[in-house]
Amino acid sequence: MESREKKINIGVGFVTGRKHFKNLIKMYVNNWKESGLIHNPNIAIHLFIAYDLSYTNTAIDDYTITDLQILKMLDYIYYLDEDTVSNEIKMLVEKDIITLDEAKLIFGRGYAMKRNAVLYFAIKRKIDYLVFFDDDEYPVANIKINNTILWKGENVLLTHIKNLMYADITHGYHCGYISPIPQIKFNSELSEKNFRVFVEAVSNDIINWQSVKTKMDSGGITYANVNIDINNRTVKVKENNGMKFISGSNLGFNLKQIDRIFPFYNPPGARGEDTFLSTCICNRVVKKIPCYMFHDSFLSCEQLLFGSLPSNLKIMQANSEDITQRFLNASIGWIRYKPLLLYVTQNKNYKNEINIVEKKLEKVVPCICNYFNEEKFRIILDEFDYFHLHVKKHYKDFKQTQIVWSKLMDRLKKNDDKNYR
């Protein structure tokens, strides 16, 4: 599959680890075809696929695209496996561009590092605009009218391209099962007041109780606003507490000025790579754009990949082991990055803020354990203590990651070696 010379090179990045990936790609490519992107002579579409075989015990074949129809509609596919990244690290170290320890900050293990690999290789391959999508999100929107669900195809990639010409970063809206928090029926073991305390303790500044409660009251389902493209045209994101909030997916980057790009970072084993990037981009043009992605956080709507549109969406109640485990995993991921987020955004008041969170968790985690009949939730307290104790180390790594990234960007700008390019 040879790349064609076109005016605009579009990169689409996936950090994935799920077996349905090839079906997902087929859905996306057909969406791009319908929106006119595939046969547009001025646009070349490149896929960047960073996959994790250990996440759900998958194999390389689960990510290798062999469908000839799909291959004909794409310009190039880059598979960012361990060997590809390791060879790049070896070259960078041998050329004395960065050290091995520095390379681990950018390309090591973890979700943020795989995003960095996609971002780095897209820049190296002269991509103009890069858009990230998650492997549990689909380019459709669920709209509720009276008691009926209507489905609408979304031209997400096209909307990013149109707006990235005038922005550093773009991010869109999400609908469907946005939150991994299931519907909670409050009782004597877990009151609404105590659950609110828990959500406020583990979440970031953007996730507020009212938004969480609204999602819970609707069974965990968020419906798209049918008039979003009319009433909410592209909006500049404003700074809030040292952050310009972005979502981790449905997220676009203008790569034409690479010195305006920051790397992703999250503490080891945590998430929050989009949150920490949000703290770096207050001086960048960030736009919220009018396009939706359906987030299938519980993987309960995979039939959408095959064109089957459900007439109703299942209410996600806290009544199964899978849903409980999903909520526990999300809570652990959140609490692992909470100390560093406080350290970055509220450094002068960090001790006071961290003590407040600690007291909240000590009060409500036992209630959470009793409600779900699951003592594993107590690990949240241990995780919080650990990441609080290591917050200065994680902050140092966070800042050092940006320094190392700058070295890489300077090299890409200055180096004329064709073998390196």
Q: Global pTM?
A: 0.94
The series of mean pLDDT values per 10 residues for the chain, 421 residues long, is: 66 96 97 96 96 91 96 97 96 96 94 96 97 97 91 96 96 92 89 92 75 82 81 82 91 96 94 94 96 93 94 86 90 94 95 96 96 94 97 98 97 64 39
Query: Measured between alpha carbons, how far is 121 from 29 in angstroms, rounded to an integer?
Result: 21
What's the sign of the alpha-carbon dihedral 26, 154, 180, 145? negative
Say if residues 13 and 135 touch (Cβ distance below 8 Å). no
Span 74-121, pLDDT tens digits:
999 999 999 999 999 999 999 999 999 999 999 998 889 999 999 999
Predicted local confidence at residue 2, as pLDDT: 43
Domains and CATH numbers, the chain: 8-179+221-310+394-414 (3.90.550.10), 184-218+315-389 (no CATH)
Q: To 10 degrees, the CA torsion angle through 12, 13, 19, 23?
A: -10
